[in-house]
Amino acid sequence: MLKISHVSKTFNKGTVNEKKALTDIRLHLEKGDFVTIIGGNGAGKSTLMNMVAGVYPMDCGTIFLDGVNLSREPEYKRAALLGRVFQDPMMGTAASMQIEENLALAARRGRRRGLRWGVTREERARYHEELKRLGLGLEERMTAKVGLLSGGQRQALTLLMATLKEPKLLLLDEHTAALDPKTARKVLELTDEIVTGRHLTAMMVTHNMKDAIAIGNRLVMMSEGRIIYDVKGEEKKRLKVADLLAKFEEASAGAFANDRMLLS
């Protein structure tokens, strides 16, 4: 489904701030793969997601999604095949627009936008059902401005928007990191329900190692712009947090400096 080959990215090339973010990344995802990605700060997890989404151009390599070469396509064109949820709950929704308008914008991802109505009556009925499934009561507030919602509600809505039109690949970039523990749990459960229930192909960056092990069928660990560990299936299920910590320590040669990893 997703084929990332020899992708590298260096920021601020040729300056004192040069930062090698990704080095020769190779990653192949099968259809229905749900990969969790872990790694310390600056390991290249978010950069990898942004490379796939086309936020900035990559230096070399290719990315194919469902047979389509995305390598040099602009962000808005790739969006037709992708669903994305960001770390910042403010980023994925338009605050000054209504809940149903946000959903309608998402439902038209990858389609020509013309002079037809922005939200139709049939759509409203469908959105009502979809929102009901989130279990947050948003179906009763469909004409409320999204800016009035809490971070967790906005994140759940973004998740719904990302999957309203079935994406070939769902990108979740630490999408529960900015939420309180209880809300984070709820959004994570929703994510698992949607991705597993609909057999979506997904990549999820997380700092929570327990979640990384419990969710999905595959786990990738990154360090200094490289993939240093890649497990799936039964082997992944048997993983313990201690194993990951050991792996991580090994990779960073004992210099275990990342407090966020320790805390999880």
List residues near other proteins by CB under 8 A.
53, 74-77, 79-80, 82, 84, 86, 90-97, 101, 104-106, 108-111, 113-119, 161
DSSP H or E run through 161:
helix 151-164
Q: Which is nearer to other proteins, 12 or 96 (CB)?
A: 96
Cβ 218 vs Cβ 231: under 8 Å: yes
Q: Which is nearer to other proteins, 44 or 92 (CB)?
A: 92
Read off φ and ψ for residue 53, nearest 5 degrees: -75, -15
Q: Which is nearer to other proteins, 81 or 251 (CB)?
A: 81
Least CB distance to other proteins at residue 50 (A): 11
Instruction: Sheet containing 226-232: give its strands across.
Output: 82-85, 169-173, 202-205, 34-39, 218-223, 226-232
* Residue 111 backbone zone (phi > 0: left; psi -120 to 50: alpha; other: beta): beta
Check residue 216 and report its DSSP letter. Answer: S
Least CB distance to other proteins at residue 49 (A): 11
Q: Which is nearer to other proteins, 50 or 183 (CB)?
A: 50
Q: Which is nearer to other proteins, 205 or 227 (CB)?
A: 205
Least CB distance to other proteins at residue 44 (A): 20
Check residue 147 and report its DSSP letter. Answer: G
Least CB distance to other proteins at residue 171 (A): 9
* Residue 173 backbone zone (phi > 0: left; psi -120 to 50: alpha; other: beta): beta
Least CB distance to other proteins at residue 222 (A): 22
